[in-house]
Amino acid sequence: MEKKYLILFVVMLFVSGFKFSDVNKSKNEDLEKNIDKILSSMTIEEKVGQMTQVTLEVVSKERKSESDELVLDIGKLKDAILKYKVGSILNTGGAANSIESWHNIITTIQDIALKESRLKIPVLYGIDAIHGANFTIGATLFPQAIAMSATRNKDIVFKGGEITAFETRASGIPWNFNPVLGMGREPLWPRLWETYGEDVYLTTEMGRAYVKGQQGNDIGAKDKVATCIKHYLGYSVPKNGNDRTPAWIPERMMREIFLPSFQAGVEEGSMTVMVNSSEINGIPVHADHYLLTELLKDELNFKGFIVSDWEDIKRLHTRDRVAETPEQAVKMAVMAGLDMSMVPYDYSFYEILLKLVDDGEVPVSRIDDAVRRILRVKLMVGLFENPYPNKELVQKFACNEFTQANLDAAREAITLLKNNSKLPLKKNSKVLVTGPTSNLMRVLNGGWTFNWQGDNESLYPAEKFTILEAVQNKIGKDNVLFYEGVDFSGDVNSSAAVDAASSVDAVILCLGESNYSESPGNITDLALDVRQIEYAKKLYKTGIPVILVLIEGRPRVINPIVEDASAIVMGYLPGMEGGIAISDVLFGDVNPSGKLPFTYPKFVNGNTTYDYKPIEFFDVNKYDPQFPFGFGLSYTSFSYSDLKLEKTEIEQNENLKISVKVTNSGSVDGKEAVELYLTDIYGSVTRPNKQLKRFEKIELKTGESKVVEFSLNTHDLSFIGRDNKRITEAGEFIVSVSDLKKNFFLK
């Protein structure tokens, strides 16, 4: 339709009293009617089957090696779909599959569901596509979430979500167990890098951008997937730092710090939620009626379904011992509000739940509610119209445009933490590249890459570049010496490396962590491996400038080697294009613009977040990190001026406009994340030192200025009061942007 006719058409609709909300309303009514129809024709076995999810291994033949193609076991698959009537299958069967193999798998599954089952309800396939479609060979694999957050660029996170959705759906899979919206406030925790970092607002905004990118305006479109916000709630702050261990979170803190990102995910329309495997305040979350039903479903009005995490219903009995029998465990979880069980290795959940319903232990109304929610998601995601892989999408899979978006993301994530004017390096320099993370693809990508731990280097594409290879490409092989020096288990050739160092202009020392995800990544010491620390010290002794490059999923303490480093570049887990991005930053083709999404501790026990309370910076207490939250240097300098508040006093429910001028006062073009913080000076509950409330990434040519505008609303000034309800209190606030500060009053 031509634009003018379109405008005319819209005007006519409004004149006739039509409202767009009517369309949504009638769409919703149709959807619910559709669900009623399906639900009313289902047997109890079919209903309980919908609530059951098994892993792909259960229905496939055993793989001899990770690179073998996955072969389905048709007999077992028929058992799953026809006998046990499962509603969902998950995972990758050990390792990544080719896109063709995924198409065969999904097509075979749907063929049985649609051609041989009584009601022809398609199976909802789910996968962890956490930094791209990481279980499809050849996919575009982005920096992990922690690095995406360092970009402070919502467009990049949106795009990452959008491309991941596209490639996941191109693989035939419509459901993604991501994003992780827990708050990364415990640096020991091995899943820190799956989060967007320590800050509530940053996580909330990045989470919104990701969900929007994945689901688009129409979650039912052929290239979108349903998101699964996880792990609800409080999983990210285990008291002892180990994965899947208890957290203690008082109600006020839970509502202030942990709930907002999930609330935002629900508001953005995420239709599934995965539960925290562990416990809060002594109650396993899988058995917590308050958190699952009262808070999530009733208070936040969540209309989608809640899926358990891996085997976690069974663990209420076998591990947590809150249920005396497996039967009690199932009853507890389902009655707490759980809708789908990731069983995932057998059909015990199905059998037990059927019996519980039969015995009147679980009412059919609860089953109907769960199945209604599951069907709602299946219908909304377009599974009934589009159950099969869409072959057209394959053409754009891992195309150049996606690779470029990935490279842009990695470039904006890299965070320059120190620079004694040694960076950028000249392209005619001679360098030594060394260290355990210098020549591996797997360390750039981290866990959940091609297999669970991401640790099989042979599965990684030969055509992508490690840091060493990218540096060689940049300045020519002849100018690059390489000795690994040390690896993750000890010395390789450190003496030869140290000897070689004296013949180069600079050493690029790549340190960090090997691959891990979940519990295998537990550590008891946040300090970087002592062998790496000692190796760095030996290299410093040569007197040749050493540039430290950190490839790690959490901030391992590097205090002993900070002072003598000529520069420090934080790479996080920068993904498939990370090698190129790092070498671009090292040699000045990219001006770094990442900002830390967490506080980088100076000491292993020095874990204080930037939004600390007054008492944490009182008397002898200090916020004394190695590098603070929000820190990140550039090759240029940005000067801030003219911080203006539209008013110095506002009413309740009034917005406050704020502007600030930012100038690139240095000699290279660059990007800058402008961050606005708020401090509430006095409150009836102790108020944080400051809180991030807005951020925007801008680009400025040298000499260029821009005025950045923000608007704060009353919600931004609110907090959880003594009665655990959200309140605002009249009083004085400080707005700070860079070093500028201005005060205002809320009446």
Contact flags string 292-311 toward ligand BGC, x per CB under 6 A = -----------------xx-
- At its nearest, how many Å lie between ligand BGC and the CB of residue 247? 15
Nearer to ligand BGC, 307 or 581 (CB): 307
In whole angstroms, the minimum distance from the beta carbon of 342 to ligand BGC comes to 6
Q: How far apart are CA 230 and CA 262, in angstroms?
A: 8
Q: Which residues make Cβ contacts (< 8 Å) with residue 523, sequence separation at least 6?
A: 188, 190, 241
Q: How far is the CB of 629 from ligand BGC (least distance, A)?
A: 25
- Cβ contact 237:185 at 8 Å: yes
Residue 144 interacting with ligand BGC (CB under 6 A): no
Site for ligand BGC in 518-537 (CB under 6 A): 518
Which of 90, 536 has the CB closer to ligand BGC?
90
Give bridge partners of residue 550 from the DSSP assignment.
511, 570
Does residue 469 interact with ligand BGC by CB under 6 A? Answer: no
- 624 belongs to the catalytic site: no
Question: Which residues within the stretch 255-284 sit at the binding site for ligand BGC (CB under 6 A)?
Answer: 274, 277
> To which H or E segment does residue 170 belong?
helix 154-170
Among 59, 121, 122, 128, binds ligand BGC (CB under 6 A): 128
Binding positions for ligand BGC, 188-247, rule CB under 6 A = 230
Burial of 676 (0-12, 13-18, 19+ CB in 10 A): buried
φ, ψ at 400 (rounded to 5°): -60, -40
Decide: is 177 part of the binding site for ligand BGC (CB under 6 A): yes
First to last CA, the chain: 50
Q: Which is nearer to ligand BGC, 54 or 330 (CB)?
A: 54
Nearer to ligand BGC, 91 or 204 (CB): 91
CB of 90 to ligand BGC, least distance (A): 6
- What x/- string results for residues 577 through 616 when contact with ligand BGC is judged by CB under 6 A? ----------------------------------------
CA dist 241 and 187 (Å) reads: 8
Taking the complex as a whole, how short is the minimal distance between the CB of residue 699 and ligand BGC, in angstroms? 35
Contacts with 91 (C-beta within 8 Å, 6 or more apart), sequence order: 55, 56, 57, 127, 128, 135, 344
At closest approach, how far in Å is the CB of 462 from ligand BGC?
27
The minimum distance between CB 277 and ligand BGC, in angstroms, equals: 6
Query: Does position 672 bind ligand BGC by CB under 6 A?
Result: no
Tell me, by CB under 6 A, how many residues bind ligand BGC. 9
Nearer to ligand BGC, 277 or 607 (CB): 277
Can residue 175 be called a binding residue for ligand BGC (CB under 6 A)? no
| Closest listed residue to residue 713, CA positions, set 666, 669, 676, 663 | 676
Q: How many residues does the chain have?
A: 747
**Among 174, 180, 105, 92, which Cα is nearest to 136's?**
92
Q: In angstroms, give the least distance from the CB of 220 to ligand BGC.
A: 23
Q: How far apart are CA 149 and CA 131, in angstroms?
A: 12
Site membership for ligand BGC, residue 513 (CB under 6 A): no
User: Which one, 309 or 611, has the nearer CB to ligand BGC?
Assistant: 309
Per-residue CA distances from 549 to 40, 149, 176, 194, 444 (Å): 60, 19, 32, 20, 12
Nearest residue relative to ligand BGC (C-beta): 177
Dist. CA 594–CA 631, nearest whole Å:
8
Structure tokens at 464: 């992508």
3-class DSSP state for residue 118?
coil
Residue 227 β-bridge partners: 176
Shorter beta-carbon distance to ligand BGC: residue 241 or 435: 241
**Is residue 166 near ligand BGC by the rule CB under 6 A?**
no
Q: How far is the CB of 275 from ligand BGC (least distance, A)?
A: 10
**176 is a site residue for ligand BGC (CB under 6 A):** no
57 part of the interface to ligand BGC, by CB under 6 A: no
Is 312 one of the binding residues for ligand BGC (CB under 6 A)?
A: no
Nearer to ligand BGC, 91 or 466 (CB): 91
104: number of Cβ within 10 Å: 17
Catalytic annotation, pick one of 309, 312, 339, 455: 309
Q: Which is nearer to ligand BGC, 333 or 407 (CB)?
A: 333
Residue 548 and residue 569 in contact, taking contact as beta carbons nearer than 8 Å: yes
Residues 371, 365: Cα–Cα separation, whole Å: 10
* Binding flags for ligand BGC, 70-99, as an x/- string (CB under 6 A): ---------------------x--------
Complete DSSP assignment for 292-323: IIIIIIIIS---SEEE--TTTTHHHHHTS-SS
Q: Catalytic residues, which ones? A: 309
Interface with ligand BGC by CB under 6 A: which residues?
91, 128, 177, 230, 274, 277, 309-310, 518
